[in-house]
Structure 1
Amino acid sequence: MTSSSEAIERALFVGRWDAGIPTEGSADSTIAKLAKDVIDGSFRSVLTSNHAQRLLRIKTTLENLDGPIPSWFDFDSISEEDRNSLLPLIVGIACLHSYIQPNYTGPDLDVKPLEVLKLSPNLDLTEELLHQRATAELAYGGEPAYHLAQVSIFLAVAEALWSVAKSAKTVAWWRLRTWLLREQLLDEPVGLPQAIWDMIVADADALKDPEFPPDLREIQGRILLEQGVLHHTIHNDKQAAEYFVRAAKSSGLQYELTGAPGKRTKFQQFDVTQLVLLAQSRKTPEEKNQIGEKVIESHETNPTPEVVRDGAPTGGPAIPETLPLNDDTLLEKTEFTSSTPSPSSTISHLDPNSQPPLDPLDQCILLGLCLNVKNTSPSHGLTAEQMSPYVARVISHPLNWSVHTMALLLRSRLESNRTRTVERSTLQLQALVDQMPTTDSTVQERLEYLHGIPLPSKWEMQKELATRFLSIGVVKSALEVFEKLEMWEHVVQCWKSMERPDKGIAIVKDLLEGRKAEADIVLSRGRTRGTAKLDNIREAKLWCLLGDMEPANAVRHYTHAWEISNHTSARAVRSLGGYHFARGEYVETKDCLKKAVGINPLLSRSWFVLGCACLKTEDWEEARQAFFRCVAIDDEDAESWNNLASVYLRMAEADQEQPEGGPQSDHGGQAVPFTHRMLAWRALKQGVKHGYDNWRMWMNYMIVSMDVGELTEACRALARIVESRADKDGSSSVDEDVLDKLVDAATRSVSQAETGSPDVQQQRSWTPKELLKRVTELLDNTILPKVATTRVFRARARLYTFHADYESAIRLYMDAYRLSVAGSTERGEMEVDNWRVAVTEVEEIVDVLRNFGSKIEGYKWGLQARSIVRSFMGKTKEDFGDEPEWQRLVDLTEELKL
């Protein structure tokens, strides 16, 4: 490939034309002109050109469209010259962006599929039927494709052309971009084909060189960023965050979340430390290409661009409308009163109130770091507060239409759960939906950074708006939007919320029986002599929806959905599995959900229910695999971590030597191997990290920590349990057996420590000194301020004894005695059995006074001991003076007289 071809391919990849590429007088001038038209958004001129028609020639023998879309084209007749050029890549990109323009960025597309695909007249097809065929083929993993997406045929054609564009170096990344868009067409995320992953990994190997050429650094940053977006799309948030950080490093973006004094409200009288994101792009001259330098210079000359209104630019780049907050208390943005937020910061020279503009690619990276904040997780308040500065940093310098749209959308999500900002959040989302048809910015600008941000499709944004309406109680407006989008599942939910479930049932039945038709079918029936009907996956989904609403006929409806989908509808077997699980039919649940996860393995809920069914049937290995897949998909799923630990504790290996004293499993009564107990402990450690408020999980973690010898972690767990339950449950919140064992271990010397088996001692991660400190803090800071029981006081007294603080030890033992049976029971209230226990308690406190009191100078322990015995004898002599144990009290009195 010539250097000119490489430059064209790079320009296509970054979506920005390089003025240094000749478009006339060279061998590649024709290709260059076509590539420039693609970048400029002139898709009609490219797709209707003779060059594109040579590639998209339909087979003359094609009599119907029943076969796969790639089989329609006569790719075998493409000349070797065209095959080895960039023409297939250029036409494929034109098709891909022709799909993106009407569905993601707007404005409306000026080319129609039948103007590009010269189908034989004898096929007698309309664009709507062509669209239906593409929609059915784009379904994947048992999930239907959204049927109202426009010109889906262009997405399918682009995917077919990548198999022809084998000479292009970036074709694997265009496949990645295509699959990202295809994922967003589906109801639920599905895994990528292994072949796509293999291509991505193979091309990523070229990025391992730390001395990546400066002119290609932007490509490297984009590739890492887009890989992160892909992982985010399929819910691999941990891997996504790693890629975003790598992308920032590659692009040279410096950023730091720190604090600076400032004001957030209009009436604030004093400064409070506020979160701020300091960030700056790499700006060294040798690392700017010609286009990048021009962009950055224009940003510097206009650091605060004005907003476009009604399609008329008022100065600066075209950007979406940014709605003001207009609140009587909150400021529009934080006002920082210090220009030096943190002396330790590597970029502390930046003024929080006046930071330089960021390169749009760096803005995309910052937005990528916000993607773990979802508008469906309002409980993550701290996370939202941490992410807001990232979004504010991007919004402060609007430089690109799509990037600014994404920033406003993220801000809208972050503000959707706060009373003072929910109104702007909803209105801003409405404004973003309304801006789609406008022509206030060029197609090139809207597409340039689109692949590096997860900008939702227009139907997903409208769906989010309708969901926002539901959250604020505007149900009818939400219903209107969902009906317009033909999202029947949400329509049914709206009717349920209005207490009219019968309306939802009627709609679904009308759709299934043909009395009501979706928009694409209505259009098709009106423009052709043939008939059009729902594809199998979409019809199966409607039967599943009817099964949800009619529990009495659920099994019949779900089974019918499974059959008509030709056993490809994951939704059908998921629903059937859930139905059986709710009725305790666990064997049937397993059969159904194994089929569901085999079709679409990316839904953690299916794996979770499958794991629970395996637990019920004591299929430990299957349960382990199921819960392991749950935490692999979502490592913040605390419940799955807890269940995974439970599985490990039930698994036993008969052929392995069992440690003495280990817990018994339910598997044949065999002891649980130490390795399994450690795996359970590690799983619970992850679980409590994400289920911090679940005291039952902390209880499990405490017990297993004691068992494997992680005593400092047991201390932490017991402290958390007491903090969670003490106010409600009082003394029962303390596991006194565990507390006593912790005190025992803490007060023994290293040579006397008994922490279990040799395996446990080898794995121990704490020292006796550290444990002693942790147990002391547990009692003094957590338990004693909230709980007062005899055993708790005695436990603390034993620690004082270990430190030879006998005076404090006696004080705690006396507190324990006052709460004991002997010290707290009044005359006439004691049963004989309790009295015998009380006699032992009296003897014990006398022994404590005798042993420790004699070591305290001037302490009259004998007087106090005699007083305790006489008082106890005085209030119990009448009832128990003739008991045999009474003589023990008499003898004790005589001893104290000596």
Structure 2
Amino acid sequence: MLTLRRANDASVKVIRVWFVAVRTGADKVDGTQTANEGFESASYGADEALKRTTFRTDRELIEAAVELVRLIPLIQGVEGSFEWREKEGTPSQNALVQQLGRKVVDGDFKAILCSPLAAYEKELIHLLMAANWTGPDLDFAPLSLLDIPVEKQTLVTEETLQRKAVAELAWAGEPAYHLARATFLFRLAQILLDLPYHHARSAGWWRLRVWNVHAQLLDEPVAFPNAALEDVERDLADEPDLVGQFWLERGLLEHRQSNDRAALGCFVRAARATGLRYELTGALGRRTKFQQTDLTQLVLLAESRIRIEGGVEEKGRKSKDGEGDEASGGATRGAALELTTKGLPETLALNDDTLLEHTEFTSSNPAALGSHLGHLDPSNQPALHPLDQCILLSLCLNVRNTSPAHGLTTEQMTPYVARVISHPENWSVHTMALLLRSRLEAHRTRTVERSTLQLQALIDQMPTDDSTPAERLRFLHALPLPSKWELERELALHFLSLGVVKSALAIFERLEMWEEAVRCWQATEQRDRALTVVNDLLAGRRAEAEAVLVRGKANLDAAREAKLWCLLGELEPERAREHFERAWAVSGETSGRAMRSLGGYLFARDEYAEAARCLRRAVAINPLFSRSWFILGCACSREEDWEGARVAFTRCVTIDDEDAESWNNLASVYLRMDYVPGKNVSQTETSYKDKEASLKADRAATIPFENQMLAFRALKQGLKFHYENWRMWMNYTVVAMNVGELAEACRALGLGSESVDADVLDRLVDAATRVTLDEPGSTVASPNEGQNLVRRVDDLFVRVLLPRVSSARIFRAPLEAYLEGYRAGIAGQMEAGETDVERWREGVREVEEIYYVLVNHGPKVEGSKWRLQARSIVRTFMGRTKDFEEEAEWSRLVGLLEDLKEGGA
């Protein structure tokens, strides 16, 4: 019989059932009947007494025993305190449960799993995370925990269990990483936690943790079911740190599903629960060694609430105005919160001849007036509690800016990371902080070397035993710390961005990440090599994991095989449709990747109805891919399925509310759809093909007013994130006029329109001349009427229109402005030797934009040498960036030069 060694408690039947399911191929295990039938059908010779034992009753007894004492580690996992407290009136004979709790904290996996009474599923999760996230390497084989009869050893092996678990962990068509260690134990924990719990109030929280871990095992993010976890928070109301950690972990799950707004709300609630106070402000200081003048530098002021021994919160001292004010000494941790921090990850020095190691603040007070943390010295802040450090690191994940190229994102995130690095308190927390710093420094020439070396050092430390498993696992659930393979993948991608393709390829091949390996082969013009490897994998001629004993194609689960067929379709465009359809069939019609790829393939070939059908299947499987929703919206628009397009673009902006293009397309759909709730409005005569044309005022009557207002709001939202898009401004001008927002039409006509719309201008003049001027002293609230409107129209003429109309510079001025903007942008300042491909692609877009400005408006400027200017700009940019000739966008630059030649340049 399959058992845990020395296990004699009835609870281990649940674990045995999992192995029975693996052996017999049962799809689901639940309840007493399934458990007993599984044992009998497998003929494992279980004794009659064990068969007669009621499974659910035993489990309830175990739950009651585990939850009888106040074991914080059973909620906090290994992050718990060493303080073991019993509830009032609890008998002391539950020493066994307390001993097991201590073993959980100590990370003594084998002792826990071999104990007669344990919360097995919790420790199985920790074992997986130790093996794949924090290290050190396990000192025993997971299969050694099991007693396997000799006659069954050839059937039940670690490889067979691993393969079965990886296949079952595939979710929404996304495969799980097949080289993760001890995956079958995690799958076992998942099965146990799916069972009903009647006494263990922390079960919901552990399910949340299972989803968090599961999300990191998958290749792409997927949507997981929402859990009703409010009861968990209510049960923990007297434990502020537990409430804070609960919301922190929930926020991390939201973040991994790209729900950044919801994640930020959870992180803020976590900070409020733990009593963390923080403020991003400025203080005088110096950043370079040769800086003579003190300048305002960004700094994060942060302070933990005071904690004293035993976990009892100490109230802050009262300030003179009566407000609560914790002492500036910060977090005072006693024995209950102390863990040894020896063997912390190595923090590499910058060793730069210009930049200082840390910002040197010369002012002891922050620059912000009325700051609640003004008593803190920016250069000498108190240490933070490790949980509060976790919250700060998670908060900086949501610092975003509408123009990341401006560098504000990095500048805002750096103070968060620096605040945590300055006081290392825990191995995992410090590792995460160093990783974030490495990412921030990866694109700066003065810091890129340390970024690479630091990332390599973090990977090298994983298998060492320089710190205890207890410390490494203590805050792991509260951190966005990537797994070992994700860290190595990140290093390989970093190598790839630096042009070190061979080193990146070696890592991808070792990790068996074939999609990334194919990119490397294509970058080195080895497409035949990529085809050979993918075909060999599919045909079973190439074994993947070296540790796998059972070779051949049988090692491929359906999700991974479908992904390989998709990859083959991308490598062989001439047979792409055949390969994508094969991937869909192989996966049992569960591969979202196959339908995404096929939908994109069909859309590119103008088969919009078929593309929409495929993309609808893709988003039904995994709705988190905004690009799939976007292409679906475009396909529906081409088919004039306006309701389908509205749904698709609405989902796009729901996933990413800064997607300006989707906001613009959504507005366009509103102006073309004839759907009004409760009404049947006649179809507008406007077709999709004239989308780029201005919407004329005489067509406004055919568009429902409700739809026009929705379009106005959508365009207004989109312009917040794409302020320089003049086409959106033109659309916004016309729609604003149609809905009566005359002041906004004036503003848009002056700000964004490249040319003046005569119809809109006539209507504005007509509205301004027909209004009755306000009586002296009267107040008109609306900007769309009275003196307010007259003032705006007058300003539009004086400041914007008259300089254009009364001068020969009407076209020359925009050309000169565009050229100045180009010279100050990325493309104008890019030099030879650039390695950042994303920066180069942005430069290509800027070159195309200035090219079309010159082509469209150059001929209207007398004496303009616009052809020579356009050709010179494109050639200069191509000459400086020859290293990117292999990129797909290079052909667009070549096309621009050919267009100039065809035009007689």
- TM-score if structure 2 supplies the norm length? 0.73
Determine whether 1:99 maps to 2:128.
yes
Shift of 1:480: 0.6
SS at match of 1:332: strand
CA contact (8 A) 2:489 2:508 kept: yes
CA 1:535/1:18 → structure 2, altered by over 3 Å: closer, same or farther? same
Per the alignment, residue 878 of structure 2 pairs with none
CA contact (8 A) 2:652 2:662 kept: yes
Per the alignment, residue 37 of structure 1 pairs with 103
Counterpart CA distance in 1 for 2:126 and 2:431 is: 18
CA displacement 1:594-646 (0-9 Å, x = unmatched): 11111111111111111111000001111111111111111121111111111
1:336 to 361, 384, 389: 361
1:625 to 641, 647, 650: 647
CA contact (8 A) 2:389 2:420 kept: yes
Amino acid at match of 1:183: A
CA 1:203/1:352 → structure 2, altered by over 3 Å: closer, same or farther? same
1:608 to 627, 630, 636: 630
Per the alignment, residue 326 of structure 1 pairs with 351
CA displacement 1:671-730 (0-9 Å, x = unmatched): 1111111111111122111223332222222222222122333344334426xxxxxxxx
CA 1:625/1:204 → structure 2, altered by over 3 Å: closer, same or farther? farther
Determine whether 1:251 maps to 2:274.
yes
Determine whether 1:679 maps to 2:702.
no
Determine whether 1:454 maps to 2:507.
no
1:307-386 aligned at under 5 Å gives the runs 317-341=342-366, 342-372=368-398, 379=405, 381-386=407-412
SS at match of 1:199: coil
Equivalences, count:
714
Per the alignment, residue 452 of structure 2 pairs with 426
CA 1:339/1:596 → structure 2, altered by over 3 Å: closer, same or farther? same
Counterpart CA distance in 2 for 1:177 and 1:658 is: 49
Identity %: 53
Amino acid at match of 2:357: E
CA contact (8 A) 1:136 1:145 kept: yes
1:36-435 aligned at under 5 Å gives the runs 36-51=102-117, 87=118, 90-120=119-149, 121-122=151-152, 124-162=155-193, 163=195, 165-193=197-225, 197-204=226-233, 212-213=237-238, 216-283=239-306, 288-289=311-312, 317-341=342-366, 342-372=368-398, 379=405, 381-435=407-461
Amino acid at match of 1:335: E
Per the alignment, residue 83 of structure 2 pairs with 19
Shift of 1:112: 2.7
Amino acid at match of 2:82: D
Amino acid at match of 2:448: V
Counterpart CA distance in 1 for 2:402 and 2:679 is: 48
Shift of 1:269: 1.2
Amino acid at match of 1:329: T
Per the alignment, residue 572 of structure 2 pairs with 550
CA contact (8 A) 1:22 1:32 kept: no
CA 1:378/1:655 → structure 2, altered by over 3 Å: closer, same or farther? closer
1:707 to 730, 738, 741: 738
CA 1:442/1:746 → structure 2, altered by over 3 Å: closer, same or farther? farther
Shift of 1:172: 0.6
CA 1:698/1:203 → structure 2, altered by over 3 Å: closer, same or farther? farther
Stretches of structure 1 that go unaligned for 5 or more consecutive residues are 52-86, 303-312, 723-731, 754-761, 794-823, 826-898
Deviates more, 1:261-270 or 1:230-239: 261-270
CA displacement 1:761-806 (0-9 Å, x = unmatched): x99665544445555555566666777559999xxxxxxxxxxxxx
SS at match of 2:284: strand
CA 1:472/1:718 → structure 2, altered by over 3 Å: closer, same or farther? farther
Shift of 1:593: 1.0
Counterpart CA distance in 2 for 1:117 and 1:719 is: 75
Counterpart CA distance in 1 for 2:315 and 2:386 is: 10
Amino acid at match of 1:558: F
CA displacement 1:323-355 (0-9 Å, x = unmatched): 111111111111111111123211111111111
CA 1:545/1:787 → structure 2, altered by over 3 Å: closer, same or farther? farther
CA contact (8 A) 1:709 1:764 kept: no
Counterpart CA distance in 2 for 1:746 and 1:336 is: 55
Shift of 1:50: 3.1
Shift of 1:375: 13
CA displacement 1:280-304 (0-9 Å, x = unmatched): 11116599449999xx9997699xx
Per the alignment, residue 557 of structure 2 pairs with 535
Shift of 1:738: 3.7
SS at match of 1:257: strand
Amino acid at match of 1:717: A
Counterpart CA distance in 2 for 1:232 and 1:641 is: 22
SS at match of 1:321: coil
SS at match of 1:519: coil
SS at match of 1:650: coil
Shift of 1:532: 3.7
Counterpart CA distance in 2 for 1:37 and 1:10 is: 10
CA contact (8 A) 2:538 2:553 kept: no
Shift of 1:115: 2.5
SS at match of 1:369: helix
CA contact (8 A) 2:389 2:429 kept: yes
Shift of 1:46: 0.7
CA contact (8 A) 1:570 1:600 kept: yes
Amino acid at match of 1:116: L
CA contact (8 A) 1:544 1:572 kept: yes
Stretches of structure 2 that go unaligned for 5 or more consecutive residues are 1-63, 317-327, 690-698, 812-860, 863-905
Determine whether 1:563 maps to 2:605.
no
CA 1:301/1:328 → structure 2, altered by over 3 Å: closer, same or farther? farther
Per the alignment, residue 577 of structure 1 pairs with 599
Counterpart CA distance in 2 for 1:377 and 1:156 is: 42
Shift of 1:453: 1.2
Counterpart CA distance in 1 for 2:641 and 2:782 is: 32
CA contact (8 A) 1:9 1:170 kept: no
Amino acid at match of 1:220: V
Question: Which structure's CA Rg is the greater one?
Answer: 1
Shift of 1:240: 0.6
CA contact (8 A) 2:222 2:257 kept: yes
The root-mean-square deviation of aligned C-alpha atoms, in Å, is 3.7
Amino acid at match of 1:721: G
CA contact (8 A) 1:22 1:29 kept: no
CA displacement 1:733-756 (0-9 Å, x = unmatched): 444554554455456535799xxx
CA 1:581/1:352 → structure 2, altered by over 3 Å: closer, same or farther? same
1:832-847 aligned at under 5 Å gives the runs none
Amino acid at match of 2:588: N
Counterpart CA distance in 1 for 2:516 and 2:67 is: 51
CA contact (8 A) 2:305 2:330 kept: no
CA displacement 1:249-307 (0-9 Å, x = unmatched): 111111111111111111111111111111111116599449999xx9997699xxxxx
Shift of 1:403: 0.9
CA 1:323/1:715 → structure 2, altered by over 3 Å: closer, same or farther? farther
